Structure 1
Amino acid sequence: MWRGLRTALIAAGFTVDGVAALLGPSARAALDRGETTPARRAVRGTGAVGTLVRLFLLGDALPRDEVAAAIAPAEVDEAVAAGLLHDLDDADGRVVAALDLRPHGDASLPDAAAWWVLSDLEVSPERRTADREHVLGTGAASLSLARATVRRPVGTLLDVGTGCGVQVLHCSGHARELTATDVSPRALDMARVTFALSGIGAEVLEGPWLAPVAGRRFDQIVSNPPFVPGPPRVEHVYRDSGLGGDGASALLVAALPGHLTEGGVAQLLASWLITSDDWTARPRTWLAEAERAAAPGGLDAWVVQRDVADPALHVGTWLRDAGVDPASPEGTELSERWLDYLAAEGVLAVGFGFVTLRRTAPDVPGTVVCEDLRQSHDDPLGPEIEAWLDRTAWLARHSGDALLDARLRVPDTVALERGLVSTDEGWDPVAATLVRLDGPQWRHDVDEVGVALLAGCRGYLPLRDLLDLLAAARGADADDLAAAALPVVRDLVHHGMLVPA
């Protein structure tokens, strides 16, 4: 069945590029807004690909014979039996899609393959609320994780909580052996179809969390788990862990390093409850557990907070995500229960972001960094995370005298902004800010001593010599200047604002 359907999808050109070319930019934009008529007009008389667009992307009920021609050599009865189509048994002999099947791709891959993702139909006002076992498709969260994933070649990769298999698709271009786990048999059934249609081989294992891979280690782990903080119950498997609060994120962050090979990297989406002015308090507690799990190796960890929501916004967002109107009787009851729980936990807000973990060699000191990255950032985060891991490894090898002996330079993508105030004598400088013009566009305030030091970082002289010259010019003690400068230099290297020459 699925092999035949794959043949039909390819032959019809039901791919990301094929559909985009068929619809054109105007109809595509309208479809993104939920307006289907322009797309329906665009596919008239276009044969099999138009039928597939209407069936799977527009949700139209179509005559059996038309669908049969479009999916051959797969058969309509097979598709109905497999749960992909639903026979309406009406006078017109029509069938309709019972599941969501859509083309997917990754433009960042040099030889982008044609993929198809199978999931439950999207929740909408016409399509009721999500069931407990609802399987999401290519949602915003899964795509954001894919864009943040490190893409360097690895031997083994594990996707924890694979759902319909989206992360495995994106990792298939750089991982030789793929393993996908999930607690939901329904999700795994859909993942198997996603892999079969997309021509990808993967080991698929059922079970909670890391139980299916007990005792195994992987070069890379990715996870888009049910991270949504809420009461300790499971209303929707894709969203709720049943652990209560941010228990899912706490469990995975603490446990994943124990399943990494030396040098292995884990990346996951996570949420944390913010119960004080310090949003990092809970993630740092998990990272302390993660360091123990990494032993005898060390641990590099980068927690990036991308968004913060107050409890009311958090609850309303996730109720609507499941198709529940927060103002309805059902929504009101769920909101009260959810907000009561968060209030009892002393939650001021809920943070969301990415956690990157790397298990280092036993003799390599680890680095733990928690940072806010809520500024606009449209570039994929994956390359920045790769670069952060490289910079962190370099700094681990260059501590103390080794850093002083290093030759550093300011990249061309870094600029200096100056703040000036008007005085009787003209404009006087009051502030200086170093700004990265690429990636996350980090910003660092620097004083005039820092400005002078950075002006000399052209890769010609060791940092030690630059500090000695600066100390002599300012009549300062070279050792005191170095002690003050080194933490700043390390921070600038971490953020790519100083790089080894």
Structure 2
Amino acid sequence: MTRSPLTLLAPELTAFFDAAGFTAGGIAGHLGPDHTEAMHRGEPAAVRYATDDGSTLSRLIRVFILRDALPATELADLVGASLATRLLDSGAAAADRNGTVRMVLDVRPHIIVGADRWVFSDADASMTRHVPGPDHVLGVGAASLSLLQSTPVTPVGSVLDLGTGSGVQALGQFGLAESITATDVHPRALDLAEATFAGAGAPVELLEGPWFEPVAGRTFDRIVANPPFVVGLPEVGHVYRDSGLNLDGASELVISRAPAHLAPGGTAHLLAAWVHTPEQSWAQRVASWLPDRGVAAWVIERDVADPAHYVGTWLKDESIDPRSPEGDARTGAWLEHFAEHGVSGIGFGFVAIRNIGDEPSDVLAESMPQSFTDPLGPEVEEYFTRTAWLRGRGAQELADATFLTRPGLARETIAVADKEAGVGFAPAALRLTRTDGPRWSHDVDEHLAAIVAGLHPQGLSFGETVGLYALANGLDEEELVRAAVPALVDLVRHGLVLPAELAEAAE
């Protein structure tokens, strides 16, 4: 039994779009790079200018992207009479008394995990004047794209998409997972998600209810969640972003409860936000939401906003002008609430959690401000592999192991103008930097840089390499090993140096 007529329409509509070239790549090729960027910036006039040739693809862009109105007869001519009728009957499009039709929903093409997909969602304000209502169902936004990039795309057993919305994250796991379960508290979201899945031919179990209640007592091999994490007052203005919980309560709830729903070795991949306060570091705050035993967690802060900037950003998200009386009142109430709770900033980022059984928890919370373009998902999986290897070894075992530098690792020598000499340059920093993944960079001294340069997977152990360097430079071997092992742990944790046995297993 289907939830809505959209589900029955979706396969026929997406098949038509695919045949007509109404795909993300087809649109980009048709518009060209400049007008494609204008489309992404929300500049409809530029897109309309580029689609005046009367071609089928231009007309589809005008109807389904720009949501231009057209006579019902022209819609039937464009997509066929049967499909036009079903668009109207399902509520995807609406007609006025004059027989003029306009799309009500967005059915937008995207490339998701390398495949052409179409996501059913409510129309946003990017192309037409529109204020999203309280029950608005979001399509593919910046946050959902960033979570897709940070979630592994390796084969997996069972997947839970918590708070699926229009189904974007579950769609990203289609073809990878043996089974997918998607939940949402919002019935309308489940209606649109079902259509999204039907259009992709993706069998997904849909469950209605808040948070983890629909899957009580169940565990999964992979959990993905883009919850309503907006930090603010305990109220719900828009169901897709407001949880009704105070401040960062939504992030705390999802992060704290996810471990109980992970199968052995299972992982969770979450978007979250947290407050900064003078009393406690953000890293301590988020770490306190996790259990003392049973999880490895990597918490990555990608951005921090001051309260005023944060409030202004989210008011614009709901199409409220901060200069309007409503915007003025909302801003004042929101900032006052932050002030009452000592909020000095709001952080945003990713949380990856792995079930490690009954071992003591291993939690790392750190900032990742550097820019990079590689997907983060593979790095997350490798991070858990590297840290699992580290957890099982003491200082002596680390010294006895063999390692190699990561392929592509760069050594950077930074020098600045020598003020004292008045001429030339003076050394300022020595860094080891990854040229792949998240581009981690570590400041090192000449001793550690030389030791790392001497590592070889079929050569001496780390301790022996340090000993050889100490002997050649007149240093105390025991003392140098004691100092070098903690530095080695940091380099392995960020993947600049790899244990030889892990590298061999990956080949």
Partner of 1:216: 218
List per-residue Cα deviations over 1:35-63 (Å, max 9, x = no partner): 33453354445554333211110111011
**Structure 2 CA distance for partners of 1:441 and 1:54, relative to 1, 3 Å:** same
- Of 329, 341, 350, 2:325 maps to 329
* 2:485 maps to 1:486: yes
**Structure 2 CA distance for partners of 1:335 and 1:125, relative to 1, 3 Å:** farther
Give 1:305's aligned amino acid: E
- Of 98, 106, 127, 2:104 maps to 98
- Of 291, 303, 310, 2:306 maps to 310
User: What is the rounded CA distance, in whole Å, between the counterparts of 1:208 and 1:160 in structure 2?
Assistant: 9
Give 1:302's aligned amino acid: W
Partner of 2:282: 279
2:221–2:266: 8 Å Cα contact kept in structure 1?
yes
Partner of 1:12: 20
1:8–1:73: 8 Å Cα contact kept in structure 2?
no
1:12–1:70: 8 Å Cα contact kept in structure 2?
no
1:418–1:429: 8 Å Cα contact kept in structure 2?
yes
**Structure 2 CA distance for partners of 1:464 and 1:207, relative to 1, 3 Å:** same
User: What is the rounded CA distance, in whole Å, between the counterparts of 2:253 and 2:473 in structure 1?
Assistant: 52
Counterparts in 2 of 1:346-357, with a 5 A limit? 346-357=342-353
User: What is the rounded CA distance, in whole Å, between the counterparts of 1:209 and 1:51 in structure 2?
Assistant: 41
User: What is the rounded CA distance, in whole Å, between the counterparts of 1:174 and 1:358 in structure 2?
Assistant: 18
- Of 328, 336, 348, 1:340 maps to 336
User: What is the rounded CA distance, in whole Å, between the counterparts of 1:13 and 1:74 in structure 2?
Assistant: 20
User: What is the rounded CA distance, in whole Å, between the counterparts of 1:284 and 1:196 in structure 2?
Assistant: 39
**Structure 2 CA distance for partners of 1:137 and 1:39, relative to 1, 3 Å:** same
Give 2:320's aligned amino acid: V
1:8–1:74: 8 Å Cα contact kept in structure 2?
no
List per-residue Cα deviations over 1:467-492 (Å, max 9, x = no partner): 22233334444333222211110100
User: What is the rounded CA distance, in whole Å, between the counterparts of 1:357 and 1:371 in structure 2?
Assistant: 14
Give 2:285's aligned amino acid: R
User: What is the rounded CA distance, in whole Å, between the counterparts of 1:428 and 1:95 in structure 2?
Assistant: 70
Counterparts in 2 of 1:152-171, with a 5 A limit? 152-171=154-173
**Structure 2 CA distance for partners of 1:416 and 1:39, relative to 1, 3 Å:** same
How far did residue 431 of structure 1 move? Answer: 3.4
User: What is the rounded CA distance, in whole Å, between the counterparts of 1:77 and 1:430 in structure 2?
Assistant: 70
**Structure 2 CA distance for partners of 1:89 and 1:228, relative to 1, 3 Å:** same
**Structure 2 CA distance for partners of 1:38 and 1:230, relative to 1, 3 Å:** closer
Partner of 2:95: 87
1:162–1:181: 8 Å Cα contact kept in structure 2?
yes
User: What is the rounded CA distance, in whole Å, between the counterparts of 2:10 and 2:480 in structure 1?
Assistant: 68
User: What is the rounded CA distance, in whole Å, between the counterparts of 1:154 and 1:494 in structure 2?
Assistant: 24
Give 1:442's aligned amino acid: W
List per-residue Cα deviations over 1:423-448 (Å, max 9, x = no partner): 76986645322222222221211123
2:87–2:93: 8 Å Cα contact kept in structure 1?
yes
How far did residue 324 of structure 1 move? Answer: 0.7
- Of 175, 178, 181, 1:179 maps to 181
SS at match of 2:398: helix
Mark the runs of 5 or more structure 1 residues left unpaired by the alignment: 293-297
2:10–2:196: 8 Å Cα contact kept in structure 1?
no
2:67–2:102: 8 Å Cα contact kept in structure 1?
yes
User: What is the rounded CA distance, in whole Å, between the counterparts of 2:48 and 2:389 in structure 1?
Assistant: 55
How far did residue 321 of structure 1 move? Answer: 0.4
How far did residue 412 of structure 1 move? Answer: 3.5
Counterparts in 2 of 1:132-211, with a 5 A limit? 132-211=134-213
**Structure 2 CA distance for partners of 1:432 and 1:185, relative to 1, 3 Å:** same
Number of residue-to-residue matches in the alignment: 487
Partner of 1:438: 436
Partner of 2:6: none
User: What is the rounded CA distance, in whole Å, between the counterparts of 1:325 and 1:237 in structure 2?
Assistant: 20
Partner of 2:396: 401
User: What is the rounded CA distance, in whole Å, between the counterparts of 2:33 and 2:431 in structure 1?
Assistant: 41
**Structure 2 CA distance for partners of 1:233 and 1:415, relative to 1, 3 Å:** same
Counterparts in 2 of 1:407-426, with a 5 A limit? 407-420=402-415, 422=418
User: What is the rounded CA distance, in whole Å, between the counterparts of 2:15 and 2:450 in structure 1?
Assistant: 64
Partner of 2:47: 39
Give 1:99's aligned amino acid: L
User: What is the rounded CA distance, in whole Å, between the counterparts of 1:161 and 1:457 in structure 2?
Assistant: 46
User: What is the rounded CA distance, in whole Å, between the counterparts of 1:335 and 1:263 in structure 2?
Assistant: 44
Q: Report the TM-score when normalising by structure 2.
A: 0.91
SS at match of 1:102: strand
Give 2:485's aligned amino acid: L
